[in-house]
């Protein structure tokens, strides 16, 4: 079990990780390095030991497990700071579009892992893709999966599937937001004021997702249970498919995957 985690960067994802660790793994100590004072204060409020940029060496000495929660363009600046600060570390990266090979070359360590979380990490409900090189230590594998689990559910995938995880999960939350908005607009078109219609649409989608999760039922099976012959639901489903609903969702995932591959470095 990890005793201490060092989180480099305290943006939205860094905060989600600290909150998740404090709530779900309170025995693990957390240190944070962040250049912005207001964000350092927030990290202190969550119970982290906080360092500013000038205390980089002291921060790095707090743990053998370092989580990179910075912007991808900041990687080069921190990779060589003070020589080879990551050479003896286990590094877990949440940098978008940054490959394991790039991390290994820039950081000078083979002990690297990638996490691909989603926006819902902020409420502890992310679906997190986790990728490793074939030869990583088992300790790193355990640690990375444990850290991913504090912000949601961890799914280990080959690195070549991380773009697919991005298109399905990372971008997928946006597709769901778009569907909820469209569903609410449909209710408004039928006469329900938008604020009330939006509340209903949110509850419908949350309830449907929880229903599938609770029973493990296939969505097609659940759909047929509420689709009566010549009823209202089949008319709605037919309208969705006439307008390319399934194809549009499939193409949305494919387009996001293609873009994720283009951005990979």
* pLDDT tens sequence for the chain (265 residues): 789 999 999 999 999 999 999 999 999 999 999 999 999 999 999 999 999 999 999 999 999 999 999 999 999 888 878 678 999 999 999 998 999 999 999 999 999 999 999 999 999 999 999 999 988 999 999 999 999 999 999 999 999 999 999 999 999 999 999 999 999 999 999 999 999 999 999 999 999 999 999 988 999 999 999 999 999 999 999 999 999 999 999 999 999 999 999 998 7
Nearest to 186 by CA among 256, 235, 255, 251: 235
> Domains of the chain (ranges plus CATH)?
4-157 (3.40.50.720), 172-263 (1.10.3730.10)
pLDDT at 2: 87
pLDDT at 79: 83
Between the alpha carbon of residue 128 and those of residues 85, 124, 165, 246, the distances in Å are: 27, 11, 8, 24
Tokens linked to 56: 């980089």
pLDDT at 265: 76
pLDDT at 159: 96
What torsion, rounded to 10 degrees, do the Cα atoms 154, 160, 161, 163 define? 100
CB burial class (10 A; 0-12, 13-18, 19+) of residue 214? Answer: exposed
HSE (side-chain half, CA atoms, 13 Å) at 23: 13
Separation CA 111–CA 122 (nearest Å): 27
pLDDT at 1: 72
pLDDT at 264: 86
pLDDT at 76: 87
Q: What is the model's pTM?
A: 0.91
């Amino acid at each position: 079990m990890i005793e201490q985690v060092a989180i480099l960067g305290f943006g939205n994802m860094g905060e989600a990780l600290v909150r998740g660790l404090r709530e779900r793994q309170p025995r693990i100590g957390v240190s944070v390095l962040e250049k912005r004072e207001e964000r350092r204060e927030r990290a202190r409020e969550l119970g982290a030991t906080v360092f500013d940029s000038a205390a980089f060496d002291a921060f790095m000495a707090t743990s053998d497990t370092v989580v990179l929660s910075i912007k991808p363009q900041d990687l080069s600046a921190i990779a060589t700071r003070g020589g080879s600060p990551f050479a003896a570390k286990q590094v877990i990266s949440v940098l978008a579009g940054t490959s394991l090979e790039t991390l290994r070359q820039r950081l000078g360590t083979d002990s690297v892992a990638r996490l691909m979380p989603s926006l819902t990490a902020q409420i502890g409900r992310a679906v997190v893709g986790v990728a490793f090189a074939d030869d990583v230590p088992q300790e790193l594998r355990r640690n990375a999966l444990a850290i991913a689990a504090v912000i949601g559910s961890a799914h280990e995938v080959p690195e070549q599937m991380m773009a697919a995880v991005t298109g399905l999960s990372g971008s997928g939350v946006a597709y769901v937001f778009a569907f909820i908005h469209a569903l609410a607009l449909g209710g408004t078109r039928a006469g329900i004021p938008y604020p009330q219609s939006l509340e209903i649409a949110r509850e419908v989608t949350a309830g449907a997702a929880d229903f599938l999760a609770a029973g493990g039922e296939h969505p097609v099976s659940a759909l047929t249970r509420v689709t009566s012959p010549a009823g209202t639901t089949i008319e709605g489903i037919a309208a969705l498919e006439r307008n390319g609903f399934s194809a549009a969702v499939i193409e949305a995932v494919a387009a996001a995957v293609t873009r994720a591959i283009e951005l990979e470095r």
